[in-house]
Structure 1
Amino acid sequence: MSTPESQSNEILFISDLHLSPEYPATVQRFLNFLNNRARQADAIFILGDLFDAWLGDDDNEAPYQDIRVQIGMLTSSGTEVLIQHGNRDFLLGDDFCRHTGTQLVPDEMVVDLFGTKTLLMHGDTLCTDDTGYLKAREYLRSDAFANDFLGRKLEERKVIAADYRKQSGEATSLLPGDIMDVNQSAVESVMNKHDVTRLIHGHTHRQARHQFEINGKTCERIVLGEWHSDQGMALSVSQDGIEELLL
């Protein structure tokens, strides 16, 4: 994807909101964002884990329906919204995008941000030291799992998800395993693969900007922050530079 500089004044990046009925304050913070700050941007990239656990596009439990409506109002106003799958909402699908006017994008996506090629990822595949998680990810992202899981009634899916949470010892995640930090070799490998000098990702909840060199070139890895009930984080990229926004 290219970003036409003559048309785009600002691109926003967010991730790891973990929206769910259990966190109404965070949901309200996101809805406020959609109706205010988000409308100033030409496009918004959601780099995974918009939801804490997505059980299928047919889940209309509150507050999911309101979230759909508000995102749809934003895209109808002219702001483009592009979404990557995270490790918690990888079952988000075409029906959600059709109802909201959003677009699902690949797990590794290169965009031209005002002259700088930038790789966008959720970030979980960079945590290569967590071999147990990567093995679980391979199975859970398979067509076999998706077809079996989504073919069940929603109430049964909720029971299965609750059982996953109980077995893994996690309070909110559909997936087992703890979040670990990225492996630097994996970072350099994927940036070399796409021939980029900037990487933006989420997942680790370790908001920061890291600088390093690859083949003599100065490179940067920007980690997006997670959202809480009392604070949200967005990254603003424009012709004027990069700014971290607290919402």
Structure 2
Amino acid sequence: MSTLFIADLHLCAQEPAITAGFLRFLQREAVHADALYILGDLFEAWIGDDDPEPLHAEIAAALNALRSAGTPCYFIHGNRDFLLGERFAQASGMILLPEQQVVDLYGRRVLIMHGDTLCTDDQAYQEFRRKVHNTWIQKLFLALPLRWRLKIAAQMRARSQQSNQHKSAAIMDVNPQAVEQALLRNNVHWLIHGHTHRPAIHSLALSTGNAQRAVLGAWHEEGSMIKVTPDAVELIQFPF
């Protein structure tokens, strides 16, 4: 019995090794799990479900095969693929979840999320996030011709990379108070998230008792997953 969590794969046509590693992970690991949770940034960018990029169809088919084999897959949007919609979810068989969700894992209540909402010290990013998550702005963007959306996405990514070069490492990590508030608000003692690309399991002391924060790593040089069983929560790094 196990439930698997992954995040921050940033799949794109330019990184075929990561895609191949993910497909092997689905066939060799995820197929034996009770469930797979993808906590955002499965893709490097997402400009709409109508994007004809062949990689998207390949991933949808692989995820649908996983579901057909008996492993359900749940998805929480990340900051790169927050526009991923119902059309792709249906094609892939994924179940879309809200940005925060409490799940019961073998008697252990766990809060799961992408993690970017916890980085409250990065006020510029949080302001940007509020804008792009505006429903009307998203509708306007998705109504644009595909070539315009591709150009806008490339420009936004370039600006983001330039901006991050001038930010301290601390400001792009989670805020401890935001983490504590999220745990207390949801009455849980376990949190699993991605986004920061800093894989670790942290112990915390709350007013309600000891808590743990498990952080997934990004799939750059190797794969990263969190495996939850009735007996343990493990952070596992593995080769593609």
Relative to the length of structure 1, the TM-score reads: 0.90
Match 2:47 to one of 55, 60, 71: 55
1:205 equivalent in structure 2: 197
Offset, 1:42: 1.2
Which 5+ residue runs of structure 2 have no aligned equivalent?
A: none
Give matches, 1:88-237, under 5 Å.
88-170=80-162, 180-228=172-220, 230-237=221-228
Offset, 1:60: 2.3
Match 2:18 to one of 5, 16, 26: 26
Question: Secondary structure of the equivalent of 2:234?
Answer: strand
Of all paired residues, the percent bearing the same amino acid is 44
C-alpha distance in 2, partners of 1:25/1:188?
37
C-alpha distance in 1, partners of 2:158/2:106?
46
User: What is the Cα-based RMSD across aligned positions, in Å?
Assistant: 1.7
Match 1:79 to one of 54, 71, 74: 71
> Letter of the aligned partner of 1:152 in structure 2?
L
Cα deviation 1:39-89 (Å, max 9, x = unaligned): 110100001110111111111213121111111111111100000000000
1:6 equivalent in structure 2: none
Equivalenced residue count is 234
> Letter of the aligned partner of 1:50 in structure 2?
L
Question: Secondary structure of the equivalent of 2:48?
Answer: coil
C-alpha distance in 2, partners of 1:115/1:226?
28
Relative distance call for 1:76 and 1:213 in structure 2 (3 A) is same
Q: Which runs of 4+ in 1 moved over 4 A?
A: none
Offset, 1:113: 1.2
> Letter of the aligned partner of 2:179 in structure 1?
V
Cα deviation 1:154-204 (Å, max 9, x = unaligned): 111101111212333459x9xxx8870000000001111000011011000
Contact 2:214-2:235 at 8 Å conserved across structures: no
Offset, 1:216: 4.7
Relative to the length of structure 2, the TM-score reads: 0.93
1:243 equivalent in structure 2: 234
C-alpha distance in 2, partners of 1:168/1:50?
18
